[in-house]
Amino acid sequence: MAAVRFDNVVKRYGPVSVIEDLSLEIKDHEFMVLVGPSGCGKSTALRMIAGLEDVTAGTISIGDSVVNDLQPKDRDTAMVFQTYALYPHMSVRENLGFGLKMRKTPKAEIDRRVNDAASILGITPLLDRRPKLLSGGQRQRVALGRAIVRQPAVFLFDEPLSNLDAKLRVQMRAEITKLQQRLETTAVYVTHDQVEAMTMGHRIAVMNAGRIEQVGTPLEVYDRPATIFVAQFIGTPPMNFFPAKVRDGRLEAESFSIPLGRSIPSTDVLVGIRPESFRGSAAQIQAKVELVEMVGHEAVVHLRAGEIPLIATYEAHQAPKLGETTALGVDVARMHLFDKSTEKRI
């Protein structure tokens, strides 16, 4: 097992810069999730660890070694892809053992590792089947098994659950998390799904356009998003935003003015409030209910305050009714303030 480090890594395709100055340390035994929208460079970053893409500048290290010039097969990583990439003409057993066979592992050792992995993943009864006779979830388990048998220093996952239906995705998410807890192998997991990131990662790195915007535990990132981008990307329903001004120690928005309780230079800000955070009594926003979505345990209520659309969540039985005007409580302690020009947290 090993730590993984990016030091000032740059990746360009010709003139196009895809990764800009990426530095990140993934600790030994850590489950790190790279999360961000499609095209932000997640797969490229992962493929550079595996050696499937070379690095334009900077270094990537696994353990104590810089691996920039190592062949993929010499890097001791195992990757699980979105498309399971199983060999159709081989049985599950052969698929699991193939990588080891290529590395000239003795047959008895292959058998032992394949049987162990199959047992961990609950696929022992499937060992003699061909992939085409398996369900999507079973195929994904085989793809995981193929990574496990290698006993690599680092697992690399590239959106491995994207092809599964919603229910199976939630189940496999928990299985992969438990698997990593059990094996303690360092893992780098790429996804565009912020719920996957929040639920699986020891830490998450939120990426945007080839850069890391923030690295932290899921709760750190949720509670103190460093930028407007992170605040918008993490959390569902998403954080509400509206413009305001900081003047003489007060926050002045269209519908309220409250003391900030800390000294901030006068500036234009965006105020962010999570849908569950319209509580408190410092001030109120009058808002008209435009839509009520009953989710079961809670109601997601869409409102409008003047021109500003807002979403607030309520305990299901306490939600205001469609067409009503209701008062949303706001409190400085539950607000996130971002500088309008730098887009950074204040």
Ligand X SMILES: Nc1ncnc2c1ncn2[C@@H]1O[C@H](COP(=O)(O)OP(=O)(O)O)[C@@H](O)[C@H]1O
Q: Which residues bind Mg ion (CB under 5 A)?
A: 43
Q: How far is the CB of 206 from ligand X (least distance, A)?
A: 12
Nearer to ligand X, 110 or 212 (CB): 212
Nearer to ligand X, 14 or 265 (CB): 14
| Spatial separation of the C-alpha atoms in residues 238 and 240, rounded to whole Å | 6
The closest residue (CB) to Mg ion is 43
Q: How far is the CB of 18 from ligand X (least distance, A)?
A: 4
Q: How far is the CB of 57 from ligand X (least distance, A)?
A: 16
Q: How far is the CB of 140 from Mg ion (least distance, A)?
A: 17
Burial 5-37 (b: 16+ CB within 10 A, else e): bbeebebeeeeeebbeebebebeebbbbbbbbe
Nearer to ligand X, 18 or 154 (CB): 18
Nearer to ligand X, 57 or 322 (CB): 57
Nearer to ligand X, 40 or 246 (CB): 40
Residue 132, phi then psi, degrees to nearest 5: -70, -15
Nearer to ligand X, 60 or 305 (CB): 60
Nearer to ligand X, 18 or 226 (CB): 18
Contact of residue 235 among ligand X, Mg ion, none (CB under 5-8 Å per partner type): none
Nearer to ligand X, 39 or 122 (CB): 39
| Spatial separation of the C-alpha atoms in residues 100 and 94, rounded to whole Å | 10
| AA letter at 198 | M
- In a 10 Å sphere around its CB, with 0-12 CB exposed, 13-18 middle and 19+ buried, how is residue 4 labelled? buried
Q: How far is the CB of 43 from Mg ion (least distance, A)?
A: 3
Q: Does 277 bind ligand X (CB under 6 A)?
A: no
Residues of span 4-63 touching ligand X by CB under 6 A: 13, 16, 18, 36, 38-44
Q: How far is the CB of 338 from ligand X (least distance, A)?
A: 24
Note the residue count of the chain: 346
Contact of residue 13 among ligand X, Mg ion, none (CB under 5-8 Å per partner type): ligand X
Residue 133, phi then psi, degrees to nearest 5: -90, 10
Contact of residue 216 among ligand X, Mg ion, none (CB under 5-8 Å per partner type): none
Q: Is cis: bond before 225, omega within 30 of 0?
A: no
Residue 141's CB: how many other CB atoms inside 10 A? Answer: 25
Contact of residue 191 among ligand X, Mg ion, none (CB under 5-8 Å per partner type): none
Burial 153-183 (b: 16+ CB within 10 A, else e): bbbbbbbbbebbeeeebeebbebbbebbeee
* Collapsed DSSP state (helix, strand, coil) of residue 127: coil
Residues of span 111-140 touching ligand X by CB under 6 A: none
Q: At what angle do helices 107-121 and 166-183 cross, to 10 degrees?
A: 130
Contact of residue 225 among Mg ion, ligand X, none (CB under 5-8 Å per partner type): none
Q: How far is the CB of 46 from Mg ion (least distance, A)?
A: 8
Q: How far is the CB of 299 from Mg ion (least distance, A)?
A: 35
| Spatial separation of the C-alpha atoms in residues 175 and 187, rounded to whole Å | 14
Per DSSP, the residues of 178-206 read HHHHHH--EEEEEES-HHHHHHH-SEEEE
- In a 10 Å sphere around its CB, with 0-12 CB exposed, 13-18 middle and 19+ buried, how is residue 328 labelled? buried
Contact of residue 40 among Mg ion, ligand X, none (CB under 5-8 Å per partner type): ligand X
Contact set with ligand X (CB under 6 A) = 13, 16, 18, 36, 38-44
